[in-house]
Amino acid sequence: MSSRWYPKNGRVIFHVDMNSFYASVEMAFDPTLKGKPLAIAGNPEERKGIVVTSSYEARKHGVKTTMPLWEAKRHCPDLIVMRPNFDRYRTASKEMFKILADVTEIIQPVSIDEGYMDITACEHLGSPLEIADRIQQRISDELDLPCSIGIAPNKFLAKMASDMKKPMGITVLRKRDLSKKLWPLPIEEMYGVGDKTAAKLRNYNIETIGDLANYDVFKLKQLLGINGERLRNRANGQDNRPVDPEAVHEFKSIGTSTTLSQDTTDDMEIRQVLRKLANKVAARMSGKKVLARNVQLMIRYHDWKNITRSRQMNDYIHTSDDLFHIASRLFDEHWNQEPVRLLGITAGDLAEQKEVTQQLDIFSYEQYAEKEKLYKTIDELTERYGKNPFQDLTAASDRSHKVSTSFQKDFLDDYKK
């Protein structure tokens, strides 16, 4: 065993990514599905159903995630379509993370089918490649599921590495490999760059990850704010984030939704629901110490038609009042007066509180400072008495409700039990 794999002043990070997870779990449960084009979709009985994930056999025919079912079947007439079985996926995920926990306790689940591991202190178990191979084989032999593993000195590079060879790949990505393995990739393939950001970057002739890595940092900050500098650092292989078992997952957004007890057009009931949702989102933002610059409202009508509308702010927000008022305005602007079945609020464009410098002009500073005193007082009283003494009466029925997360994330500590 060579110590050269384990640097004295660095880390060795794995990103373990299950391949086509939902479809693979169904194939493990029913081996007759293996080798066939399979799609997991939310509502197979309706032509407007959406593909959640698909097997690699289906992908070869052009079937893609989020593709409407009618289009998927046009690409692949023999496509087998199944509803998701979330209990089955939870069980498989729990067993997968148990296998990872046999190697190290430093594990950060990201979602139901992926997580980071810090194996820096695992030199006694062999080289990183040997450890990765054993993990991959155990998951395959014991769970009959494929996975890919990225090995790198930090989380970002490990994530990029795990995407480079699928299914059943193991890829090492070192900083000295960036110019050959990472930089030639199209900018859209960089983790953390969505379609809108990619389009902005391409307008400035940033076509590849290498272009981003070598672009002027001040111009990027003008274009994308704090995120511009962060993305440039990542493109250069810089990422100091530790694998944090307590973080459970990283947030691109924080949201929650609820189905109403019955379809309603009652304005007061709708406001009460929006207030409860805003309180939940604000509580989770506070726990993660993040601020938001985008608020999205989702409305599902009685006929299951969904609409989402969002508002981008100039300044970051973090209070339930701000979330509630913005969501209420979005509702007033876009509600078609039809009965509402479900409502959801999502805070997006997040940034850590410590990274954000509030841009205040002379006219808003006094008002902002007074608000901050009030928020601080409320936080202190909440910490002392265990609840917010000024919580809105409209949220009274929700005080005992635990902060919840989405299906993909609300059980990720279960493997420790």
Query: How do residues 50-74 score in pLDDT, each as one tens digit?
Result: 888 999 999 999 999 888 888 999 9
Query: How do residues 320-370 score in pLDDT, each as one tens digit?
Result: 999 999 999 999 999 999 999 999 999 988 877 765 543 333 334 344 444
Task: Give the chain's mean pLDDT.
Answer: 84
Query: Checking phi first, is residue 380 left (phi over 0); if not, alpha (psi -120 to 50) or beta?
Result: alpha
Helix (H/G/I), strand (E/B), else coil: 329: helix
Domain with residues 179-235, CATH architecture: Orthogonal Bundle (1.10)
114 has catalytic annotation = yes
How far is it, in rounded angstroms, from Cα 367 to Cα 175?
Answer: 47
The greatest distance separating any two alpha carbons of the chain, rounded to the nearest whole angstrom, comes to: 69
Q: For residue 417, what pLDDT band results from cuts at 50, 70 and 90? A: low
Listed residue (308, 307, 275) closest to 392, CA to CA? 275
Where do the structural domains in the chain lie, given as residue ranges?
3-19+88-175, 21-84, 179-235, 254-398
Is the pLDDT reported for residue 371 higher than 70? Answer: no
pLDDT of residue 378: 54
How far is it, in rounded angstroms, from Cα 406 to Cα 249?
Answer: 11
pTM over cut 0.95: no
Radius of gyration for the alpha carbons in the chain, expressed in angstroms and rounded: 23
pLDDT of residue 287: 83
Is the pLDDT reported for residue 374 higher than 80? Answer: no
CATH number of 254-398: 3.30.1490.100
CA 373 to centroid of chain Cα atoms: 32
Q: Specify the CATH superfamily of domain 3-19+88-175.
A: Reverse transcriptase/Diguanylate cyclase domain (3.30.70.270)
E strand or H helix that includes residue 170: strand 170-172
Tell me the residue length of the chain.
Answer: 417
3-class SS string, 240-275: CCCCCCCCCCCCCCEEEEEEEEEEECCHHHHHHHHH
Q: How far is CA 36 from CA 41, 78, 110, 335, in A?
A: 16, 9, 29, 43
How far is it, in rounded angstroms, from Cα 349 to Cα 316?
Answer: 9
Mutual angle of helices 217-224 and 226-235, in 10-degree steps = 130
Query: For residues 409 and 89, is the Cβ–Cβ distance under 8 A?
Result: no
pLDDT of residue 253: 83
**Known binding site for Mg(2+): residues?**
17, 113
**Helix residue spans in 195-350 (DSSP H):** 195-202, 209-213, 217-224, 226-235, 267-288, 320-334
Given 114, 142, 207, 352, the catalytic residue: 114
Query: How do residues 243-272 score in pLDDT, each as one tens digit?
Result: 998 765 455 689 999 989 899 999 999 999
CATH topology classification for 21-84: MutS, DNA mismatch repair protein, domain I (3.40.1170)
